[in-house]
Homo-oligomer: A and B are copies of this chain.
Amino acid sequence: MQQLANGVWRLQSGQPEAHTPVSLRETEMKTEALEKLACEGRPPFTLEEVAVKRTARGVNIELPLGAEEQIYGFGLQLHRVNHTGRKKVIRVNSDPIADTGDGHAPVPFYVSTAGYGVFVDTSRYATFYCGTNLPKGASEHKQFETKSVATSEIELYGYQTASGERSVVIDVPFAEGIHVYFFEGPDLISAVQRYNLFSGGGCLPPLWGLGMWYRAYSAARNEDVQRLAEGFRNDRMPVDVFGFEPGWQTKAYSCSFVWDESRFPEHESMLDSLYGMNYKVNLWEHLFVHPTSPMYQALKPHSGNYEVWEGLVPDLAVKEAKEVFADHHLREFVDKGISGFKLDECDSSDFVHSNWSFPDIAEFPSGMDGEQMHNQLGTLYQAAVQAPFEVAGKRTLSQVRSSGALASPFPFVLYSDLYNHKVFIRGIVNSGFSGLLWTPEVRQAESPEDLIRRIQTVVFSPLALLNCWRIPNPPWMQVDREKNVRGEFLDNYEEVRDVCRELFELRMSLIPYVYSSFAKYSFEGLPPFRALVMDYPDDPNTYGIDDAYMMGESLLVAPMVTGETKRSVYLPKGRWWDFWTNKPYEGGQTYECTPGLRHIPVFVKDQTLLPLAKPLPYVSDDCTFELTVRAYGSAPSDCLLYEDDGSSFHYREGEYNWVKLSWHPDHQGAIAHSGNYDGCKYKVVSWEAIR
């Protein structure tokens, strides 16, 4: 068992494969930050407790699982939070319709309430059996109760989970050897932090990335874009990012990566106009390269042996392919002001009527096969598209539909074509276990109520996105798609728009708080959005919560879905304050909340200093946030706000500040900047005591 850094251990067995998440990554672990996280300096398992076996089918790993332990992680699992007793297959897929492990971003990493993490370094479709079965004979001498006869499936299958001498069994196909990484705690959240720091730390988005995003109609033309962009400003709807869907390219499915001049004549002047209105621009694409693309010939020798949708599949693990791809993006887009991309369909489809992507047996020039490439495609693609931003010295926040292991340094946010609102909320809860970010994007709505409920969830998420690719007019004008296309608007659209504006503005006031949470993600590996069990691992009431989460350290968010007029919210021990009414609640119990349509349950942890900004219409480079600081409780702790230029990589050279807000009961509060950034983003305009 080799110690790689403070609290990070590695076990090798046999000859690991050449292509794995660790061998393919380009970032380095944050050794210094790991040093600062206290731990016992002892791996969570002894060598004797870890059984690794080479079999005809690959490598088989078995680890103990205590009777009370609860298992979390495995990436963006959309169907379940607590994986104890379940089987999970780490296989990338675009339509994870069931709780199989498949998903946009499955990760061979899990953490336990016992306070440790396990990462299996493989790009294979590994299967994790988390205490599903007992060994033969384990039940032989049990006392059995007289059975009652089941007359429903729930009775038959419901209670049938294994208890007793459990283990986690991991099946890594085809490998002849393996590296297993162990992360010490002492608690669950520290194990996650260590995994993120081992991955290279969390990403730090540009400030503008935390504003509102709007993706426009796929069939939009120049004039439609102009109309929408001006409309948001005229209607005082804060929007920072304007997204183009496939229609911007001459060919999409597969992609040409070339502006379609028939829809967007003089697209550069259109972009200038958008930039002039302070929009950032994001372009949709996927990886498959159409024969009409200028990159085609250069990429052909470095591509896999099968086409997808008539396009090449470039092997981005090959330096030349990555360079061709990154250079085109730098020259044609990033250097021309484009701020980010939406990387679609880098997953793979099996569960819907139209399956697609390359076969698992595909061969790539790097030596990877299709299976490995599927599980790595998301992160390889992110690395290739991030590269031009590194060259240009500009941060991006972008979107991606697939990710995987060691992904926390990538400034990309996951999304999905699935659309059940509860599933989307669960995505926020789960993504934080595995170094991922997720947006429960608003795409369509069955009613204004549904629209509002979904917007409420995105404004309390990593990326506040409205993806309106199917409708030419904003959804607050009309939620019904057919009517929206015909330009028939809701009678009360102004009222709906006002509610939406209020929520957009709420998002704008949360930016300093969220940005600082991201800074802790970057420097300390602390997930900005996370399950309650991460902060309260000793409270079994949090173990199964999949519909509420922490946003930063101080806000507990419990979204609601359309049709609900009330919901129950469990508050962990301690006092909590209603974000809207300032009413105090004693934790350790469950409350029935009826916040009305304009609000969802949000609670502030006791003794919090919460900075809320006066909403800006957009985030410009030189903006300043005017803060009202709410002081909850009798003696609020200091609050550290993170400050830098908000858009470059200078922070990596130390050009940032920690701005300390402190509360003094007598003279209210104080603000103190310290660090090497010489700008000033924050100004406190008022303090509010809430008791």
Residues of A within 8 A of B (CB): 55-58, 60, 86-87, 95, 97-100, 127, 129, 132-142, 144, 147, 149-153, 156-158, 160, 162, 169, 171, 173-174, 217-219, 246-247, 250-253, 263, 290-292, 296, 300, 303-312, 350-356, 358-362, 369, 371, 417, 469-470
Contacts and interface: CB of A to CB of B under 8 A. Distances in A.
A582 B600 CA distance: 65
A152 to B, nearest CB: 6
A50 to B, nearest CB: 16
B136 A305 contact: yes
A139 B291 contact: yes
A136 B303 contact: yes
A614 B642 CA distance: 88
A307 B160 contact: no
B355 A87 contact: yes
Nearest to A301: B136
A297 to B, nearest CB: 9
A149 B305 contact: no
A360 B134 contact: no
Contacts of A296: 140
Contacts of A312: 136
Nearest to A175: B56
Contact of A151 (B55, B141, B219, B250): B219
B157 A356 contact: yes
A57 B369 contact: yes
A356 B160 contact: yes
Contacts of A362: 133
Contacts of A127: 359-361
Contacts of A171: 359-361
A246 B153 CA distance: 12
A262 to B, nearest CB: 8
A290 to B, nearest CB: 8
Nearest to A311: B139
- Max chain B C-beta neighbours (<10 A), residue from A60, A355, A361: A361
A95 B97 CA distance: 12
Contacts of A132: 355-356, 359
B247 A149 contact: yes
Nearest to A172: B361
Given A351-B98, A360-B171, A144 B251 contact: yes
A160 to B, nearest CB: 5
B356 A174 contact: no
A369 B291 contact: no
18 contacts: A57-B173, A87-B355, A87-B359, A97-B97, A97-B98, A98-B350, A98-B352, A99-B355, A132-B355, A133-B359, A135-B305, A135-B306, A137-B300, A139-B307, A140-B291, A156-B253, A158-B354, A160-B354
Nearest to A147: B251
Nearest to A308: B133
A136 B361 CA distance: 14
- Max chain B C-beta neighbours (<10 A), residue from A99, A129, A149: A149
Given A151-B218, A171-B360, A252-B147, A306 B136 contact: yes
Contacts of A95: 98
Contacts of A263: 149
A369 B307 contact: no
B136 A304 contact: yes
A312 B139 CA distance: 9
Given A140-B291, A356-B157, A361 B307 contact: no
